[in-house]
Copies of this chain bind each other. A is one copy, B any other.
Amino acid sequence: MSSPPATAVVLVAHGSRSEAANEAHRELCAQVAAVTGLDVTPGFLELATPSIPDALDQAVATGATRVRVVPYFLHPGRHLAEDLPRLVDEASERHRQRASIELTGHVGGDERMVQLLADLARDQG
């Protein structure tokens, strides 16, 4: 067994009543893991498991000393402005002896999203 990577990623989604949507998110995590070579696990704000706190605790428990929390959210709102920062702050406090936990920008706020949409609009899918 090799040691786990020092950096782990929790890809955060809102969570859905549709299990197909939740399963699609889990598959997306696997795709991002394959591209990056990092441990990438899902964390759901509500309606699905694991919860974000559980996902963060698990990432630290498996040995990560740095956890990047990537919000798979399109639009700004209370979840991005309040809920996620609070959950990350609480986990940082729980694990401050062992790991740093960092919240990244959300995908919807990224300029590369504009480019992706432009490509779809121009039929360069």
Contact = CB atoms under 8 A, between A and B. Distances in A.
Interface string A41-74: 0000000000000000000000000001010101
A104 B110 CA distance: 21
Interface stretch (A18-26, A82-90, A91-99): A18-26
A18 B73 CA distance: 14
B117 A112 contact: no
Given A72-B74, A74-B74, 16 more contacts: A18-B75, A21-B75, A21-B77, A32-B117, A36-B118, A38-B122, A40-B121, A68-B120, A68-B123, A70-B121, A107-B113, A110-B116, A110-B125, A112-B112, A112-B119, A113-B116
